[in-house]
Amino acid sequence: MLSSFFSYNQNFVMFGNEHVTVLILTVLLAVFLPLYAKKYLSEHKQIALSRAMAVLIAFSVVFYILVRVAHGYFDPKTDLPFDLCNIIGLALPFLMWKPSYRAHEILYFWILAGTLQGVLTPHLVDSFPTFTFFKFWITHSGLVIYTIYISVVFRFYPTRKSILRAFVAIQAYAVMMFLVNLLVGSNYAYLLHKPPTASLLDLFGPWPWYILALEALALVIFGLCYLPFWRAERAEPVK
239 assigned to some structural domain: no
Phi first, then psi, for residue 207 (nearest 5°) are -70, 140
3-state secondary structure the chain: CHHHHCCCCCCCCCCCHHHHHHHHHHHHHHHHHHHHHHHHCCHHHHHHHHHHHHHHHHHHHHHHHHHHHHCCCCCCCCCCCCCHHHHHHHHHHHHHCCCCHHHHHHHHHHHHHHHHHHHHCCCCCCCCCCHHHHHHHHHHHHHHHHHHHHHHHCCCCCCHHHHHHHHHHHHHHHHHHHHHHHHHCCCHHHCCCCCCCCCHHHHHCCCCHHHHHHHHHHHHHHHHHHHHHCCCCCCCCCC
Most confident of 43-47, 114-118, 121-125: 43-47
What range does the domain containing 26 cover?
Answer: 2-229
235 assigned to some structural domain: no
113 assigned to some structural domain: yes
105 assigned to some structural domain: yes
Rounded average pLDDT over 69-81: 90
Mean pLDDT across the chain, nearest whole number?
89
Spell out the residues 6+ positions from residue 65 whose beta carbon is closer than 8 angstroms to its own: 74, 79, 80, 81
Number of domains forming the structure of the chain? 1
pLDDT band at residue 121, thresholds of 50, 70 and 90? confident
This prediction has a pTM of 0.88
219 assigned to some structural domain: yes
31 assigned to some structural domain: yes
pLDDT band at residue 231, thresholds of 50, 70 and 90? low
pLDDT for the residue numbered 233: 47
